[in-house]
Amino acid sequence: MKKWLVALLLAALALLVFSKTTITLWHAMSGQNLKALEDIVKAFNETHPDIEVVPVFTGSYAETLTKAIAAYRNNTHPHIVQVYEVGLQTMLDSGAIVPVHELAEPNFDWGDIVVPILNYYSVDGKLYSMPFNSSTAMLYYNKDIFEKAGLDPNKPPTTFDEVFEYGKKIVQSGAAPGGIAFGWPAWVFEQMHALHAQFYANNENGRKAKATEVYFNREFGVKVFSEWIKWAQNGVLIYGGREYNANNAFIAGQVAMLIQSTSSLGSIEAKANFKVGTTFLPRIPGYPRGNSVIGGATLWVMKGKPKEDYKAVWEFLKFVARPDVSQKWHKSTGYFPTSNSALKGLLDEGWFSEHPNYLTAFLQILSGINRPESQGVRLGNFVAIRDVVDSAFEKALQYKGPDIEKTAKAILDEAAKQCNQILKDYVSLYGK
């Protein structure tokens, strides 16, 4: 055999042996969460020499969702994209996804997924995306400021009235310039509906059929907005931006309390020079009990890649779901461990005894009542609807007059009108 032919065969053999399947992962993680994600990908790549996962930061959650859908139309999309819970209906209607239940091996134990997460992302009992960085909202508070204001640092507020009274005492005592700030205010508004077993939209929050009407301008929503306007007028509620900027005010001691995602727990504890307390979201007495709702994001698999690539995709998704990987992710970020096995492991090793703040959100969501009102909202073009509600919140906090309830109703009616048009446009495009 000629030498050149031998060399060619050896080169072909080497290419066969050492070739890798490259999987692209678009994500929206930054800061401490980015480091945690990169550690997971590195560990996977080191243990799977035939696969290389390439993570690419593609901006905020909203930007990542928009870019992924646009890229699919141009055939430049990734294999996997991280999409926040707001994008659930959009992804289902996109025609761009491969449901993860179609990739899974027949014996894969979906029953091990933590129930509220499984319920949120399931359609007709089947999971469409792989749980990854799920969270919910909880109340953070600064124990040092509480003590300075003469409050018991081990008795955080449990009701709206207590938040208001504690906030006034904190501000009037000079312990902090403000009482409370919110991250993701439109999401907090959704949380309040779920927590008090109130539908946010018709058709059971868009889960029986596509939603065509929002309900947040009804009695309960007006009550919540009225309370928030009152808090703002008394210097208790300080506007903290639409996403994570409120964390800076909390860490700097500008506010004593913060309603924010559990995903901020790791960074807040790392940066705070005070004792951080956490507790359940405050309630308004007199309404039925629901549950806090899932936030964060999942990993969606996109269509249009070579068939053999999907074996590699599933290997990565299985790796992410491993209890040890989920536990490490939880410890680094504050996001929920996604499986019951991971949760049991954390309990067994005493993690929650040593880090009780990491248990708060879990106890909250597992002790709540799962009912249709608290399963989570599924709306078409939810990103645009969140923008409308955020704008309504910002407008409400600027009101300085005496007609609080009337103003809250007017602001929410206008927001509902805009949202209903968004839903109407979505249904006309994708059908009911």
Q: What is the pLDDT along the chain (432 residues), one digit of tens a residue?
A: 556 565 555 555 555 555 899 999 999 998 888 999 999 999 999 999 999 999 999 999 989 999 999 999 999 999 999 999 989 999 999 999 999 999 999 899 999 998 888 988 888 889 999 999 999 999 999 999 999 999 999 999 999 999 999 999 999 999 999 999 999 999 999 999 999 999 999 999 999 999 999 999 999 999 999 999 999 999 999 999 998 999 999 999 999 999 999 989 988 999 999 999 999 999 999 999 999 998 899 999 999 999 999 999 999 999 999 999 999 999 998 898 999 999 999 999 999 999 999 999 989 988 899 899 998 899 999 999 999 999 999 999 999 999 999 999 999 999 999 999 999 999 999 887
Range of the domain at 224: 136-291+380-430
Q: How far, in whole angstroms, is CA 323 from its chain's centroid?
A: 20
If asked whether residues 393 and 264 sit together in one domain, one would say yes
Contact indicator for 76, 44 with CB cutoff of 8 Å: no
What are the percentages of helix, strand and coil residues in the chain, rounded to 5?
A: 55, 15, 30
269: which 2 tokens? 């504890």
If asked whether residues 241 and 324 sit together in one domain, one would say no
* β-strand partners of 97: 302
Q: Among 313, 338, 354, identify where a domain stops.
A: 354
If asked whether residues 166 and 114 sit together in one domain, one would say no
Total count of domains within the chain: 2
If asked whether residues 149 and 128 sit together in one domain, one would say no
* β-strand partners of 22: 52
Give the domain CATH number at 346.
3.40.190.10
Q: How far apart are CA 110 and CA 117, in angstroms?
A: 11
Residue 196's closest CA among 228, 240, 246, 160? 160
Residue 173's closest CA among 277, 273, 252, 256? 256
If asked whether residues 128 and 143 sit together in one domain, one would say no
Place of tokens 């919110």: 182
- Alpha-helical (H) ranges within 286-355 are 309-321, 323-333, 340-348, 351-354
If asked whether residues 51 and 186 sit together in one domain, one would say no
Q: How far apart are CA 245 and CA 255, in angstroms?
A: 12
pTM for the predicted model, two decimal places: 0.88
Q: Among 339, 354, 369, identify where a domain stops.
A: 354
Residue 235's closest CA among 298, 175, 285, 171? 171
Q: Is residue 371 part of a domain?
A: no
If asked whether residues 278 and 408 sit together in one domain, one would say yes
If asked whether residues 77 and 147 sit together in one domain, one would say no
- Who's near 247: CB < 8 A, 6+ residues apart? 183, 240, 258, 260, 264, 267, 268
If asked whether residues 226 and 275 sit together in one domain, one would say yes
Residue 223 identity: K
Residue 342 identity: A
Q: What's the half-sphere exposure (Cβ side, CA atoms, 13 Å) at 297?
A: 20
If asked whether residues 178 and 274 sit together in one domain, one would say yes
* β-strand partners of 81: 26, 300
Q: What's the half-sphere exposure (Cβ side, CA atoms, 13 Å) at 98?
A: 20
